[in-house]
Structure 1
Amino acid sequence: MLKPQRSKGKLRVASLMEAAASAIAEKGFEAATMAEIAARAGAQIGSLYRFFPNKEVLADALIQRYGERIDEAVGKIEDQVASFSVNDLADKLVDLLVELHGESKAITALLEARSEWSVKRTEFRKAALRRIAQILMLRSPKLQPDKADDIAVVLLHNMKTMKALTHEQGIATSPGAPQELREMNRLYLASKLGKKP
């Protein structure tokens, strides 16, 4: 992948990657074409190929960018964790995947498209669990690492459930369900960190 040096080139690459994420989320990796991605970005096909010589290079760039966005979002929580109440921390964690929904839908489609990319899915999950456990131990230094790992698994599932309740069509839900999950997550985290909700 060609790395742009100028801000105009960086904006073009960002636009191409947004268009790719949108097309892949909507149609899947195999069905999304380079021509369609260029058209969605309002770019010439040659511009797309200049930065991404093929769809696999584009997919790798999307996967890398998603990892960077997760790192950035989790890093913000880590930086402020000491100032959060338990409820605030519970809300920040449960909303994390909701905020990254547009990208995560495309990444899910990518990782399901090719068996060799399933390794990446496992890496993302392990990294997410490690970072959540780290946040918990930063917030509650007396928490045992094994216990933090167990809590992280539950929190990650709650995060995925919140994303499904908020964004996925066809799931059996009601308008109040996300708030109920948020409250459950708060109570659970408070009980595990020994803090009153």
Structure 2
Amino acid sequence: MEAAAAVIAERGFESATMAEIATRAGAQIGSLYRFFPNKEVLADALMQRHRELVDGAFGKIESRAMSVSAHDLADALVDLLVELHPESRAMVALLDARSEWSAKPAEFRNAAIGHIARIVMLRAPHLRPETARDVAVVLLHNMKTMKALTLEQGLATSAGAPAELREMNRLYLASKLLNPTHKSKG
């Protein structure tokens, strides 16, 4: 599994081969096929492993959602994929892959959006569920962007870009968490 995650993270799902994964694992190709009859089954197993990691990380954020500031909550969300690195490298590669091979990437994406929407709803019960889901989609994209800005090699960016994304995420989430009846007029 670790070898598969490394190869997929480096080469992408489409370019990764079972032979390369077996070589990286120091295993015979037949042994790999005995456990995973094809690359898609192996990718599904990786997605399941990543989902368990991400579910646990979201659970920790959810358990603290009511006791932290909006800024700290925004930071926790935007940093989640960075904190799960290197596991998140393979996950992002699988999520970005063509999805004809499995429904797992869509299920994973929907679960992440569901987690974020629940966290948002805990702090902003005045929001409509559809709005919380829309906010979750934006936050998920910001999470992926933070990962790219802070961990990916060769990305043309400035050193200050992650700080700017963090501030943008804080302001965005804080504005969504405000109850409209408590907004100041002005």
Q: For this structure pair, what is the TM-score category when the shorter chain's length is used for normalisation?
A: 0.7 to 0.9
On the 8 A contact 2:43/2:94 being kept in 1, the answer is: yes
Matches within 5 A, 1:16-95: 17-45=1-29, 47-95=31-79
2:100 alignment partner, SS class: helix
69-78 or 93-102, which deviates more: 93-102
Q: 1:27 to 1:147 in 2, by over 3 A?
A: closer
Report Cα offsets for 1:128-147 as digits up to 9, x if no partner. 22211110111233333233
The TM-score, its normalising length taken from structure 1, stands at 0.76
Alignment pair present for 1:178 and 2:165:
no
- Residue 133 of structure 1: aligned partner: 117
Alignment pair present for 1:162 and 2:146:
yes
Q: 1:52 to 1:146 in 2, by over 3 A?
A: closer
Give distance in 2, aligned partners of 1:54 and 1:149: 34
The code of the aligned residue for 2:35 comes to: F
Larger helix proportion of the pair: 1
- Residue 14 of structure 1: aligned partner: none
Give distance in 2, aligned partners of 1:59 and 1:120: 9
On the 8 A contact 1:129/1:156 being kept in 2, the answer is: yes
Alignment RMSD: 2.5
Q: How many residues align?
A: 179
Q: Mind listing any 5+ residue stretches in structure 2 that lack a counterpart?
A: 180-186
The code of the aligned residue for 2:47 comes to: I
Q: Which aligned segments of 4 or more residues in structure 1 are displaced greater than 6 angstroms?
A: none
Give distance in 1, aligned partners of 2:82 and 2:102: 22
The TM-score, its normalising length taken from structure 2, stands at 0.80
Task: Give the C-alpha shift of residue 47 in structure 1.
Answer: 4.5
On the 8 A contact 1:98/1:162 being kept in 2, the answer is: yes
Matches within 5 A, 1:78-117: 78-111=62-95, 113-117=97-101
Q: Mind listing any 5+ residue stretches in structure 1 that lack a counterpart?
A: 1-16
21-30 or 104-113, which deviates more: 104-113
Alignment pair present for 1:153 and 2:137:
yes
31-40 or 180-189, which deviates more: 31-40
Q: 1:141 to 1:110 in 2, by over 3 A?
A: closer
